[in-house]
Amino acid sequence: MPEQRILLRRHLGVDFTKLDNYLKHGGFKMWKRAIELGPDGVIAEVKTSGLRGRGGAGFPTGVKWGFLPKDGRPRYLVVNADEGEPGTFKDRYFLEEDPFRQLEGILISAYAIGAHVCYIYIRGEYWNSKDVTNDAIQQLYKAGWLGKNIQGSGFDLDVYVHSGAGAYICGEETALIESIEGKPGMPRLKPPFPANFGVFGMPTIVNNTETLSAVPVILEMGPEKWSALGSPKNGGTKLMGVSGHVKKPGLFEVPMGTPMREIIYELGGGVLDDKEILAVIPGGSSCPFLTKDEIDVPMDFDALKGVGSMLGTACVTVIAEGTDMIKVMSRVAKFYQHESCGQCTPCRQGTGWIHAICQKLDSGAAGPEAIDLLIDACNQIDGNTICAHGEAAAWPIRSICKKFRPQLEAAIRARMAA
Amino acid sequence: MAAHQMDHDTQSPHEDLSFSAATQAKIQDLLTRYPRKQGALIPTLYLAQDEFGWLKPGAMELVARTLELPVTTVLATAMFYTMLYKTPHGRFHIQICTNVSCFLLGADDLVAAAREVLGIGPGETSADGLFTLEQVQCLCACERAPTLQINKKDYFNVTPTKMREILAELQQEGARLGPSVGWTGHEHGGHSHA
């Protein structure tokens, strides 16, 4: 299946960081449509589209918006642009190359949910993204697309970039909220959920950059037509990428449900040096690894769940045969140890243990029985933490131990013999 | 998150610092963005870092005074985030991604090249205050791996040869510019990011 470019439009060669260019290509046309529909009408359209959160969790966006209590308290829209999942590079595109798409989505979505302040939480290391987005915001204020009485509508909205500072955990929505409040990014217990008690204790909706960028497109195409682009219950197109051992790594836009094999072999050009695939990570290193026999899976939330993994961010990492899986596992383990916020003992200690065992395996100081110890450690983290960082740490390691045991054992024996 | 340590000795007096007028204006603007002053804490810590080079104890106290927050609140937040520096860094902060996609395409060779050229390992700062070398987590430009970031600039598809060229240029620039703002030498700056 070829690419279906709606959101991703690098190929046009237009500088979409300039508001004039964005407007020339139909930008902000959907604001008028949103006003016609009214807030409830916009929410209904998004619900009908079945849009599911593009940050990785896949929760229906319109349903999330419907959770806001009608109690008169001020509401906030927060954008999760804390892209940090290893293997992922999709939100960077909107932030750096097409910033108004997200901002148009923010304007329409804030209007729909009745928010007058929006914080865009951009990961700290994304200096260019912050600069481009801040510049785009300034252009919008000057042109009357942000601020008071936007385009004579009577609707007010202020948008601010809030920079992260190098903590992956702040991609977890309640940690992100804590971080906006100036606190360490430690996830909150839920409930209460952000829709009721979010940033500064107020009702808050947290949506991913790609999710909000899709909102104007849904209004423009109509929710049914947009939804029909994807697979059942997985509407629309999605930015998907491929990196690692492939000939043409890159970012693409395809309908949800496109087989992973096509992403790797057609869009990604196949494996480097025409090797066989050893392992694939479907959408960032929190996702359980797959073997080469599993790559016919359609890339959507439900199909990947069906094979025991996750769509995640839909940026695929390909690992070719001959790669040392102990080293791969150790890198993954190190990441989750480094990024654990430390408040839950199973995660704080468990990720440390897992990384330490991986290092022992890597140095030849542990035998094959350590694989079972790793699985045991994963089992003790899984389900025993406040947030999903625990599962994100446990699931990929456990999947490597279970699916690639022969490769691990061979690598262990080679080290012990050396 | 690795345990952070910092010499925040409350017994000895710290430098009595103040913000430049330009920074003060930026802080006033930040305060309009949040319903509580603490909301402006992380952006204000970035401003303090830009002005003083790193978050030395006097800078933390200045931020606390400016935002009317307890020093402990400021410290707790500053300690949590790796991009808020609790120790002096070199003028050039070389951050090489060694996570999966970059590892698969040879990131470890970049670390080796940097070590060879600079004579320091990951987590170390050169004695002249010019370079801090660090292995970092995914910079999320995996389709252009291996990647690295030097201060606020990204470098993509880096090879060991390109790494050596980049460092040679920075060595020349560093000879002209000298160490980073706030560089106090290793007697205060011995640190590890490991």
Please answer whether residues B192 and B132 qualify as being in contact, where contact means their C-beta atoms are separated by less than 8 angstroms: no
How far is the first Cα of chain B from the last one, in angstroms, to the nearest whole number?
Answer: 10
Size of the A and B interface in Cβ pairs below 8 Å: 146
pLDDT tens digits, residue range A91-143? 999 999 999 999 999 999 999 999 999 999 999 999 999 999 999 999 999 99
Segment A320-344 shows an average pLDDT of 97
User: Is a pLDDT exceeding 60 seen at residue A148?
Assistant: yes
Chain B residue at shortest CA distance from A175 = B80
User: Is a pLDDT exceeding 90 seen at residue A399?
Assistant: yes
User: Is a pLDDT exceeding 90 seen at residue A151?
Assistant: yes
**pLDDT of amino acid A352:** 98
pLDDT tens digits, residue range A223-239? 999 999 999 999 999 99
Which among A84, A389, A61 has a CA at the least distance from the CA of A236?
A61
pTM: 0.96
Find the CB nearest B84 among A165, A241, A335: A165
Prediction ipTM score: 0.95
Query: Distance between CA atoms of A159 and A161, rounded to whole angstroms?
Result: 7
The two structure tokens encoding residue B17: 């610092």
Segment A158-181 shows an average pLDDT of 98
Across all residues in chain A, what is the average pLDDT? 97
Query: Distance between CA atoms of A149 and A147, rounded to whole angstroms?
Result: 7
Chain A residue at shortest CA distance from B193 = A338
CA torsion, ordered A370, A372, A373, A374, to nearest 10 deg: 90
Binary contact (B101, A331; C-beta < 8 A) = no
**pLDDT of amino acid B15:** 84
Residue A374 to chain B, least CA–CA distance (Å): 19
Which among A202, A266, A245 has a CA at the least distance from the CA of A73?
A202
- Does B71 reach chain A within 8 Å, measured CB to CB? no
User: Is a pLDDT exceeding 70 seen at residue A1?
Assistant: no
- Does B104 reach chain A within 8 Å, measured CB to CB? yes
Query: Distance between CA atoms of A201 and B35, rounded to whole angstroms?
Result: 11
**pLDDT of amino acid B2:** 37
Residue A246 to chain B, least CA–CA distance (Å): 10
- Does B2 reach chain A within 8 Å, measured CB to CB? yes
Binary contact (B46, A165; C-beta < 8 A) = yes
**pLDDT of amino acid A255:** 97
What are A317's strand-pairing partners?
Answer: A243, A281
Binary contact (A338, B138; C-beta < 8 A) = no
User: Is a pLDDT exceeding 60 seen at residue B194?
Assistant: no
- Does B42 reach chain A within 8 Å, measured CB to CB? yes
Q: Locate tokens 């204790």: which residue?
A: A201
Give, in degrees to the nearest 5, the angle at Cα A67 between A61 and A73. 120
**pLDDT of amino acid A115:** 98
